[in-house]
């Protein structure tokens, strides 16, 4: 028993607290002073020196962080929508209206043991989900969510997108081959055949849009469609939209083309032997794929973040910038919430009579105030900032298409493998070539 431990045993609780907190406070004080004076300026000018690199790093991290909640939201949406379509209620026990269900799915998948079957060759087996997940997530880099808000505005954004999309097939093949199970092998080979044969009509149908817009950068593609809804490429390229939609469902392995995970034929396809977080990666990759494909559909053909009609009232007013009374908004918002909360609480007590106890009335008031203020602030931002509008329009369009994908999953049976292939080569490919030919001639003649 060293001297320290002996004294420590004798000290009372409060003296122990003091013994810990005081040195801690000292260190913090000294550290912050040194940091502000010395370290901060050094990092600032380092950042200012290579701003684009930092921007890229932040974007990648942002996207990686963004995909998990998107996947959760999509899983929850799918559970609820398909259930409601089948006259059932869907998860409603965990969280409000079952909202925490997909979160729980995530934890469950995290806590499960990811078992490796005997005979599977380990490196390929463990890397397969990583390849699939990263390939789908990396494609989010180029998608313009709002006017200023995108990962990286590559001038060959579309080409990058299809390249990354193609990589996820590699993951499926690796999974199929490595899990030493005949069902997975069949699933993997089906995935390869399906996505390869649907990649071509997918890309060809987009070339029409590229011809019209003249650029491959996603941002400028959206700008080319700004103005009212009539300028969207969907109305200029109706056949391309259809081909893209069908090819995109096959790309994301969604019903009616979910041959890779056809649970009634080849158990769970390439993911048969996967369990635990490895299966979680495949599971999330599938839903991120759905999000990407609908985002792309919205961006390329339905004018990403542009509003469907010309905004009548002025926007982009910068009420909220720091110089003006912007800064004052914050205290005003806080005071307003408190005032509104009290008013509502008193009203409820008067109206509700004895049944409402004080705390619950005040709670209700606070809730009402919160919602009210959020609405007001949201509207203000919506009017003030253009990127808030951009996000709103982009998200509504994307989630409309997500709804259609989920809707198709709830209704349609599965197509057979050879019908799938026949449809791609005999119908989609010629149609996309025709569409390409027609667009090209139209552009040449019109430019005359």
256 binds another protein (CB under 8 A): yes
- Least gap, CB of 103 to another protein (angstroms): 22
Which helix or strand (DSSP H or E) is residue 21 part of?
Answer: helix 13-34
77 binds another protein (CB under 8 A): no
Give the C-alpha distances (Å, rounded to integers) separating 384 from 92, 114, 305, 326, 379. 37, 49, 16, 12, 8
2 binds another protein (CB under 8 A): no
Binding part of the chain for another protein, among 16-24, 82-90, 143-151, 299-307 by CB under 8 A, reads: 82-90
Length of the chain: 448
Binder among 155, 318, 411, 441 for another protein (CB under 8 A) = 411
Nearest to 243 by CA among 434, 428, 423: 428
**DSSP calls for 207-268:** HHHHHHH----HHHHHHHT-SSGGGSHHHH-HHHHHHHHHHHHHHTT-TTS--TT-TTTSTT
Binder among 409, 431, 432, 439 for another protein (CB under 8 A) = 409
Name residue, tokens 């003249």: 214
- Binding mask 134-153 toward another protein (x if CB under 8 A, else -) reads --------------------
- Least gap, CB of 278 to another protein (angstroms): 20
Which CB sits closer to another protein, 95 or 410? 410
354 binds another protein (CB under 8 A): no
Binder among 59, 267, 307, 381 for another protein (CB under 8 A) = 267
Q: Is the preceding peptide bond at 415 cis, omega within 30 degrees of 0?
A: no
Nearest to 190 by CA among 177, 205, 179, 178: 177
Under 8 Å between Cβ of 352 and 361: yes
- Binding mask 366-405 toward another protein (x if CB under 8 A, else -) reads ----------------------------------------
Question: Binding to another protein (CB under 8 A): which residues in 416-445?
Answer: 416-419
Cα radius of gyration (the chain): 28
The DSSP code for 415 is: P
- Binding mask 197-226 toward another protein (x if CB under 8 A, else -) reads ------------------------------
Angle between helices 276-301 and 51-85 (to 10 degrees): 100
Which CB sits closer to another protein, 141 or 262? 262
- Binding mask 86-125 toward another protein (x if CB under 8 A, else -) reads xxxx--x-------------------------xx------
Q: What are phi and psi of 15, to 5 degrees?
A: -65, -35
- Least gap, CB of 188 to another protein (angstroms): 13
- Binding residues for another protein, rule: CB under 8 A, are 81-82, 84-89, 92, 118-119, 182-183, 186, 255-256, 258-259, 262-267, 407-419
């Amino acid at each position: 028993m060293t001297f320290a431990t002996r004294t420590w045993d004798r000290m009372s609780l409060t003296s122990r607290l003091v013994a810990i907190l005081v040195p801690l406070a000292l260190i913090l004080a000294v550290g912050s002073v040194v940091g502000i004076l010395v370290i901060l300026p050094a990092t600032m000018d380092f950042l200012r020196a290579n701003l684009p690199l930092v921007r890229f790093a932040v974007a990648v991290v942002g996207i990686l962080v963004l995909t998990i909640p998107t996947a959760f939201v999509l899983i929850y949406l799918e559970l609820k929508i398909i259930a409601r379509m089948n006259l059932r209620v869907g998860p409603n026990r965990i969280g409000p209206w079952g909202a925490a269900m997909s979160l729980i799915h995530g934890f469950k998948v995290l806590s499960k043991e990811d078992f490796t079957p005997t005979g599977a060759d380990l490196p390929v087996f463990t890397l397969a989900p990583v390849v699939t997940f990263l390939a789908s997530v990396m494609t989010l880099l180029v998608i313009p969510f709002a006017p200023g808000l995108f990962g990286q505005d590559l001038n060959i954004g579309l080409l990058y997108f299809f390249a990354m999309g193609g990589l996820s097939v590699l993951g499926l093949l690796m999974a199929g081959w490595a899990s030493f199970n005949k069902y997975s092998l069949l699933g993997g080979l089906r995935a390869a055949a399906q996505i390869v044969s649907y990649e071509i009509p997918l890309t060809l149908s987009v070339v029409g849009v590229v011809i019209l817009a003249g650029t491959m950068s996603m941002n400028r593609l959206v700008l080319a469609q700004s103005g009212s809804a009539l300028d969207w490429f969907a109305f200029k390229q109706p056949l391309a939209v259809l081909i893209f939609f069908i090819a995109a469902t096959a790309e994301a392995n969604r019903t009616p083309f979910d041959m890779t995970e056809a649970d009634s034929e080849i158990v769970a396809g390439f993911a048969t032997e996967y369990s635990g977080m490895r299966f979680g990666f495949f599971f999330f990759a599938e839903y991120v794929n759905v999000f990407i494909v609908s985002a792309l559909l919205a961006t390329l053909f339905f004018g990403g973040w542009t509003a469907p009609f010309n905004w009548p009232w002025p926007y982009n007013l910068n009420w909220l910038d720091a110089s003006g009374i912007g800064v004052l908004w914050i205290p005003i918002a806080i005071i307003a919430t408190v005032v509104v909360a009290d008013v509502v609480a008193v009203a409820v007590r008067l109206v509700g009579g004895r049944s409402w106890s004080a705390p619950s009335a005040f709670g209700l008031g606070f809730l009402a105030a919160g919602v009210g203020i959020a609405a007001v602030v949201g509207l203000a931002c919506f009017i003030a900032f253009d990127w808030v509008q951009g996000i709103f329009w982009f998200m509504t369009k994307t989630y409309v298409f997500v709804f259609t994908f989920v809707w198709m999953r709830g209704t349609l049976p599965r197509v057979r493998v050879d019908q799938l292939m026949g449809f791609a080569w005999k119908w989609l490919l010629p149609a996309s070539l025709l569409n390409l030919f027609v667009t090209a001639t139209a552009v040449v003649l019109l430019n005359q």
